[in-house]
Amino acid sequence: MKTYLRLLAFSRPYADFVPLYAVYATLGIVFGIANFTLVIPLLNVLFGTTDAHVGAAGAGPASVPAFAVSLGYIKALFNFYFDQTLARHGKQGTLSFVCVLLIGSVFLSNVFRYLGGRLLARVRARVVRNVREALFGRITELELGYFSNERKGDLISRLTNDVQEVEISVVNTLTAVFKEPLNIVGIFVLLFSMSAQLTWFSLVLLPVSGGIIASVSKRLRRHATISQTTLGQMLSVIEETLGGMRVVKAFNARPYVLGKFDFYNNLYARTTQRIDNTRDLASPFSEFAGVTVVAGLLYYGGSLVLSGTSTLNGSTFVGYIILFSQILTPAKNLSGAFSNIQRGLVAGGRVLGVIDTELRIREQPGARVLPPLQGRVELRDVSFQYGEVAVLQGINLVIEPGQMVALVGPSGGGKSTLADLLPRFYDPSAGQVLFDGHDLRACTLHSVRAQMGIVTQESILFNDTIFNNIKFNTEATEEEVIAAAKTANAHDFIMASPLGYQTSIGDRGSRLSGGQRQRLSIARAVLRNPPLLILDEATSALDTESEQLVQEALTRLMASRTSLVIAHRLSTVRHADQIIVLEAGRIVQRGTHTELLAQTGSLYWRLNQRQAEGLVISD
């Protein structure tokens, strides 16, 4: 119930629809019930059990009754006009009078039902929109470490299938959850007014059927949890296979990935079948239980009427049975809604689980905007760990304005993690990261990241035009975009493309070579004109010709900027103002290329020797 109410909270403000929906639902129920209560006077006319002095439920009042908000007033008003019509127009006229009222009642009940449905459609759209917006917003807020622990396919499943399941199984049941209980209460109020004895008898079996339906709902939720989890795992397999199709084909791994997919696909199919089987049981059972009660009422109430011990006459008893039978429809709808809702509640729980994820990287209250960066970067006694694993320990580093500092060392030494501390992708477990003396944790995230450009080993591009990939999230003019492309050695190949700067590059830039993708990434960084530049293995995956073009672009980009460069090709950092050698999360050496080579037998010396022999150490 808590999950359901939280999902409905996304429809706020409630004042936009709750009062009006309550009016529509109430009026729809009132006229809906009236449709069946009119059967009683209709039967009285047809069976000749009424005369000029007897109305639908006894003698009618001699004058129009005084207005009152009660069931008695409505009955008295109807009886008055019923008797007046019977006295003036006879049974034929009275029959016409009842039929006209019946038509009007049916028309109004359907009008108000339609208006209520329109209102709930707006609520449904609002809930789904707001849930998806909140979920996507939270995903984009979460720190990078979160995505190392979560499957991308499972997140996609929550954004698509789980939100859709919320719409189908939760929001679409709003009518049943709110309207049907009101409908049942309204019918029971009228039934108690007609015969409390029969109505109490009918309530005997309801707790039994309710308990069975609750048991069915519990099973449904258990199966739904397995189903939604399995779907997320299956989507992860699909996403990984599509992203790694080259490797799948190269290693003849099609049977392997098919086996993984078939496992989750079959498990999902079996679980879904169990859900359908269990859910389909709820509606027939509720109908059977209702018909059983009706049969019991027919026997018990019929015996009372026949023996003359009941206050009901034959036509009123028939009307009572017809009215009671109308409980079956809302009860069946309500039972089906509670069964259908289980899968949606599981999906909603998965969605809310992401939305409720605590942000580890957040702005402090009163965080200030970082002033324009002069370029001095300092890491003071910085340590960082993933869980219990220490990645960086006791790092002290100062980068002066305009300096180029290189990070080198064996794989797993902590180079990329150190670089990720500067844009606050992570916060240090201990120590401080300072820009021009300002602790980054005391500054707004936007102002920190707005002052740096990042070029990584993997060129992150989007399925859009070349122009939009360079302009990305800026207000740059066409001339500025072209100037940035020229600086990045990208203008010539762009102009050779079919549509120039308006050429679409495909998913992740699949229509471009590695060197072309990297030069677009550099152009994007050039356009930001950042005072601080972070280059993470920006040329490691390129061939010699592409590397030369990219290196020329990087040299122009780094001019007069503070730069932090991660590289395993030591030839690319020979001219760095300072080279930092990291091993097992600690700084083991620092100095210029010449100074470090002079330390014979050191880690940097060994790395240089291995590369000179053609053994490039990978990161």
Once rounded to an integer, what is the mean pLDDT over residues 396-405?
Answer: 91
Residue 442, pLDDT > 80, answer: yes
Q: 53 by DSSP, 3-state: which?
A: coil
CA–CA separation, 262 and 265 (whole Å) = 5
C-beta of residue 324 within 8 angstroms of C-beta of residue 205: no
Domains of the chain: 2-355 (1.20.1560.10)
Alpha-carbon dihedral 381, 384, 385, 390, rounded to 10 degrees: -50
Q: Which residues of 305-333 are buried (b: 16+ CB within 10 A; e: fewer)?
A: beeeebebbebbbbbbbbbbbbbbebbbb
Calculate mean pLDDT across residues 214-218: 61
The mean per-residue pLDDT over the stretch 564-593 comes to: 87
Q: What is the pLDDT of residue 381?
A: 94
Of 140-144, 205-209, 293-297, 362-366, minimum mean pLDDT range: 205-209
**DSSP letter string, 203-254:** TSSHHHHHHHHHHHHHHHHHHHHHHHHHHHHHHHHHHHHHHTHHHHHHTT-H
Alpha carbon separation from 503 to 18, 469, 474, 485, 491 (Å, rounded): 50, 11, 19, 14, 13
Averaged pLDDT score across all residues of the chain:
80
Cβ neighbours for 530, distance < 8 A, ≥ 6 positions apart: 451, 452, 453, 561
Task: Render pLDDT for 22-69 as a digit per residue (tens, 0 to 9).
Answer: 888 888 888 877 776 766 776 666 665 554 334 444 455 667 777 776
* Residue 33 CB neighbours (<10 A): 19
| CA terminus-to-terminus distance, the chain | 50
Beta pairing partners, 566: 407, 536
Residues 472-498 pLDDT 10s: 888 889 999 998 888 888 898 899 988
Helix axes 254-307, 328-355, angle to 10 degrees: 150
Q: For the whole model, what pTM was predicted?
A: 0.70
Which tens digit of pLDDT belongs to each residue from 54-65? 444 445 566 777
Q: What is the pLDDT of residues 258-285, one digit of tens each?
A: 888 888 888 888 887 877 776 676 667 6
**Contact status, residue 405 vs residue 564, Cβ threshold 8 Å:** yes
- What is the number of H-type helices and E-type strands within the chain? 24, 10
- 470 pLDDT above the threshold of 80: yes
Confidence category of residue 172, pLDDT binned at 50, 70, 90: low
pLDDT at site 53: 38
Cα–chain center distance at 577: 48
pLDDT digits (tens, 9 = 90+) for 509-520: 888 888 888 888
* Residue 453 β-bridge partners: 533
> Residue 441 pLDDT > 50, yes or no?
yes
Cα–Cα–Cα angle for 179, 107, 320, nearest 5°?
65
Cα radius of gyration (the chain) = 37
- In Å, how far are 96, 264, 265, 449 from 238, measured between CA atoms? 66, 11, 11, 33
Cα–Cα distance between 230 and 236 in angstroms, integer?
10
Q: Which of 164-178, 265-279, 381-395 has the lowest mean pLDDT?
A: 164-178
- Report cis status (omega within 30 of 0) of the bond before 531: no
Could you read off the pLDDT of 298-317 as tens digits, one per residue?
A: 787 788 777 777 677 777 77
- On whether the CB atoms of residues 534 and 572 are closer than 8 A, the answer is no
Predicted pLDDT at 440: 92
- What is the rounded distance in angstroms from the CA atom of residue 246 to the CA atom of residue 227? 30
Q: CA nearest 584: which of 450, 440, 383, 301?
A: 383
Q: Is it the case that residue 213 has pLDDT exceeding 70?
A: no
β-strand pairing of 438-439 with 377-386: unpaired
* Amino acid at the residue 370: L
pLDDT at 335: 66
- Write b or e for each residue in 517-550: b if 16 or more Cβ atoms lie within 10 A of its Cβ, otherwise e: bbbbbbbbbbbbebbbbbbbbbbbebeeebbebb
* CA atoms of 522 and 541, how far apart (whole Å): 15
Give pLDDT, residue 551.
74
Kindly tell me if the per-residue pLDDT of 206 is higher than 70. Answer: no
Q: By the 8 A CB rule, do 371 and 448 touch?
A: no
163-177, 259-273, 318-332: range with highest mean pLDDT: 259-273
Please state, in angstroms and rounded to a whole number, the distance separating the CA atoms of residues 402 and 577: 9
C-alpha closest to that of 113 among 23, 207, 233, 202: 23
Contact 304, 310 (CB under 8 A): yes
The answer to whether the CB of 337 falls within 8 A of the CB of 55 is no
